[in-house]
Amino acid sequence: MLKYIISLSFIFVSLLGWSQSKPIDLQPKDTVQKTDRYGLRVGIDLSKILMSTLDDDYTGIELVGDFRIKPNLYLAAELGNEKKTKQEDLYNFTTSGSYVKLGVDYNTYENWFGMNNLIHLGGRYAFSSFSQTINDYQFFSTSRYFNEDSFALGSQNIGEYSSLNASWIEAVLGLKVELFSNIYLGASVRLGLLITDKEPDKDASDGFQNLWIPGFNKVTDNSRFGSSFNYSITYFIPLYKKKKEVRKKYVDESGGQQPPPPPPRN
């Protein structure tokens, strides 16, 4: 019996010595490969649906989408249709048409691993094709001999003027926050600069200008700038994954974190 105990003790001591001779990795590497999801995000502008419900003189819809091509860079687009009737001081008109906006968004927000929220800056090139209908108008006159309460109504140039178009560029500031898995709530504000504006023939329309453009909103005589906003709900469709890009840090001899040293010059 004693012989077996001595043999087992010898084997145990040998295994213990072998395990201690094996080097111990005090800084084990993370073997889990971190990836970012890439795909298409599509949705709808909630603000235009709400305005269509609350305002009898407005109808509109806008589809929104973006596609991730770099860790912080997205291709973005909006496609919409709007119809609005507006009463000015001397005339009433209806504008109806469609528009498309194409551009990019750059995400400035540094996400934690597994998150995909955005605080983005971007730009768009936009084009709108529309028609304008002059419903009625009044002649401005300092004399109201025949109609003391209002100006005299005009009878000419009332009707629809089609084949109108406009183009502009937009600066975009916005955000997108993931509410639930792959479902995002977004908001953005836009400042547009009108580039081209094809108006109705001045002889046929008696000088009526485009005062409202789908996608651009109100047009004024003294400024080519316009503004708009949207509130969107979108769904992210993951298509593929890429290895997450990690910023490398250089640790000097004292243990402090420093930026990596510059490459040697030739």
Q: In this predicted model, what pLDDT tens digit does every residue of 220-263 receive, in sequence order?
A: 878 899 999 999 999 999 998 888 766 555 445 555 555 555 65
- Tell me, what's the pLDDT at 265? 57
**Residue 110, domain member (yes or no):** yes
Looking up residue 163, the CATH number of its domain turns out to be 2.40.160.20
- Tell me, what's the pLDDT at 244? 74
**Residue 56, domain member (yes or no):** yes
Residue 79 to residue 100: CA distance in whole angstroms: 5
**Residue 155, domain member (yes or no):** yes
pLDDT beyond 80 at 75: yes
Residue 221 to residue 88: CA distance in whole angstroms: 14
**Residue 181, domain member (yes or no):** yes
- Tell me, what's the pLDDT at 214? 95
Among residues 226, 220, 200, which one has the least CA distance to residue 99? Answer: 226
Q: Which helix (H) or strand (E) holds 2?
A: helix 2-21
**Residue 250, domain member (yes or no):** no
Among 55-64, 75-84, 148-157, the minimum mean pLDDT is found in 148-157
User: Beta 183-198 vs 118-139: how paired, if at all?
Assistant: unpaired
pLDDT beyond 50 at 12: no
128 vs 89, residue with greater confidence: 128
- For the chain, what is the domain count? 1
The 3-state DSSP class for residue 252 equals: coil
Angle at 107 between CA 106 and CA 109, to 5 degrees: 155
Is residue 132 within 8 A of residue 176, CB to CB? The reply is no
- Tell me, what's the pLDDT at 19? 46
pLDDT beyond 90 at 141: no
Token pair 């094809």 is at which residue? Answer: 198
35 vs 263, residue with greater confidence: 35
**Residue 19, domain member (yes or no):** no
Share of the chain above pLDDT 70, in %: 68
**Residue 27, domain member (yes or no):** no
Domain span including residue 72: 34-244
**Residue 259, domain member (yes or no):** no
- Structure letter (DSSP) for residue 34: P
- Tell me, what's the pLDDT at 257? 56
